[in-house]
Amino acid sequence: MRKWMQAVLGVILVALSLQCVVYFRGTPLLGAVAVRRPPPVVASAAPLTRAAFPVTRDDSTVTRDHVPVTRFHAAVDIDHEPVNRHLVPKNDDRMPVNRNRVPVNKDNAPENGEHLTVNRNLVSEHSNRSTDTGVTLGTRRPSLRTSNSSSNGTKTVQADPHRHHPFPFTLNQPAACRPDTELVFVVITAVSNFDDRQSVRDTWGSYANDVHHNTSLVFLLGSTHSPLLQARLTNESQVHGDIVQEGFVDSYRNLSLKSVALLKWVSLYCNRSRFVMKADDDMYINVPNLLSALRKEAEARPMFVMGHVFVGAVPQQNRNSKWYTPLEQFNEKVYPRYTSGTAYAMTTAAALKLYRAAAAVPVFWLEDIYVTGLCARKADVPILHHGGFNYQRQTNICVLRKAITSHKITANEKRTFYKQVHDPQIKCK
């Protein structure tokens, strides 16, 4: 009996051993219970493949199915930030602004004699427009072909293809740019900022609905992981016909992609307009003053970017700073002249040229420096200062009547200020 039990026990042990061996090879024995291992984690499909970007290697390894795998970190952080973090936070968690303002030398001074802001440190207003770093783009420009087949009379630019900005439009409104558009507003917004967008439509954006003003309005944003937000956004697009959405994730770190998307959309669908205005959705804009300034400047030169210009801004080298910029990302001592990204305007000819230049300029994480500084320098587009562009908050009604822009204005404040600015009962000295 003892020998029989030992024999049975031996057979059981051998069977269990064989089961374990075959399990790790991936196929259970016939008649054995199949233990299914969890499938490997696969990143969700994204419009942007990481292979399109440079990667940096780190020496640590992980194992996947018992095989060592080297970790790679994409140079672009596509989707690690919450969707609604791409605009400035409501609190003041920003670097102190360097308030020292001194006249610029003669070479930098504008013709009208206004003083620019010479900022010896990276200006804190970038806190609401931080963007991806280190994307190495191809130096070859896409070949563009034009046709006049567009239903709204706009010359449609056919890219072959847009290799430096390959994201598709997931929502688009080409008809938002009418054939007679003189000025197109492209408002940079977050998916969840529904009331901010509506406040723009109710106030200064309403000029786009006035037949006496040849202006158009679109809101530009990226994609969201939230089906609920996307459904609301799609409905908003159907109701208002002014939403343009591209296939990159709408995040705090992707604002340079968003600005290039702006240039791309104008190049494709609004290239017969005369001027383009880029603005955040928390801006108040005095449209008549803006048009007056643009028309006056266009008499003197056919191509320019206009805004609040910064000269002499120095890259932040403090590793503990939120705005730390490694030398390998930018190795010059100072940034080129650039305008505040809160709002800037340009001729459409300048927008087309900036879009072509973006194909040859590696994406830099500060949107305004990238577009109005690095790309403008590459394209040889003049950057002009105008004192009416305020990148800080202005709430005095009499100031707003003379200004062009004011920053950090809430949705309700836009509605209040718009009524007061146009109220003839309110007198200014």
Q: Establish if 168 belongs to a structural domain.
A: yes
Interior/surface letters 326-359, b for 16+ CB within 10 angstroms, e for the rest: eeeebeeeebbbbbbbbbbbbbbbbbbbbbbbbb
pLDDT at 120: 37
Between residues 211 and 178, the one the model is more confident about: 178
Q: What is the mean pLDDT of the chain?
A: 74
Res 328 pLDDT > 80: yes
**Stretch 112-121: mean pLDDT:** 41
- pLDDT score at 28: 41
Q: What is the pLDDT of residue 125?
A: 37
Query: Which 3 state secondary structure label does DSSP give 63?
Result: strand
Q: Is 283 buried (19+), middle (13-18) or exposed (0-12) by CB count in 10 A? A: buried
pLDDT of 52: 33
Q: Domain of 185: which CATH number?
A: 3.90.550.50
Q: What is the pTM of this model?
A: 0.66
pLDDT, one tens digit per residue, over 6-41 is 666 776 766 666 555 444 444 444 343 333 333 333
Residue 302: pLDDT above 50?
A: yes
Decide if pLDDT at 352 tops 60. Answer: yes
Percent share of the chain, pLDDT over 70: 62
Tell whether the model's pLDDT for residue 164 goes beyond 90: no
Host domain of residue 323: 88-421
- Return the pLDDT at 3: 64
pLDDT band with cut points at 50, 70 and 90 for residue 415: very high
Task: Give the model's pLDDT for residue 213.
Answer: 83
Domain membership flag for residue 129:
yes
Statement: residue 295 has pLDDT above 90: yes
Q: Is residue 26 part of a domain?
A: no
Question: For position 16, what pLDDT does the model report?
Answer: 64
Structure tokens at 256: 């340079």
Please give the pLDDT value at position 2.
62
Predicted local distance difference test score (pLDDT) of residue 386? 98
pLDDT at 336: 97
133 within domain boundaries: yes
Indicate whether 56 belongs to any domain. no
Taking CA atoms, 315 is separated from 120, 156, 325, 326, 366, in Å, by 9, 39, 6, 9, 11
Whole-number pLDDT of residue 24? 45
Over 80: is that where the pLDDT of 45 sits? no
Number of structural domains found in the chain: 1
Instruction: Tell me which of 350 and 322 has the higher pLDDT.
Output: 350
Report the candidate in 340, 342, 343, 376 with the shortest Cα–Cα distance to residue 358. Answer: 376
Residue 287 has pLDDT above 90, yes or no: yes
pLDDT at 131: 33
Q: ∠282-217-212 over CA atoms, to 5°?
A: 115
For helices 194-202 and 411-421, angle between their N-to-C axes, nearest 10 degrees:
10
Tell me the two tokens of residue 266: 């104008």
pLDDT tens across 128-154, in order?
333 333 232 322 333 333 344 344 444
DSSP-derived 3-state class of residue 232: helix
Rounded to whole angstroms, the Cα distance separating 308 from 389 reads 5
Mean pLDDT of 180-207: 97
68 is a domain residue: no
Q: Does 250 fall in a domain?
A: yes
Q: Which of 51-60, 147-156, 185-194 has the highest mean pLDDT?
A: 185-194
Least confident among 156-165, 182-191, 268-277? 156-165
Cα torsion 112, 118, 123, 128 to 10°: value is: 10
Any domain includes 82:
no
Sign, CA torsion 303/305/307/312 = negative
Cβ(127)–Cβ(93) below 8 Å? yes
Contact 128, 87 (CB under 8 A): yes
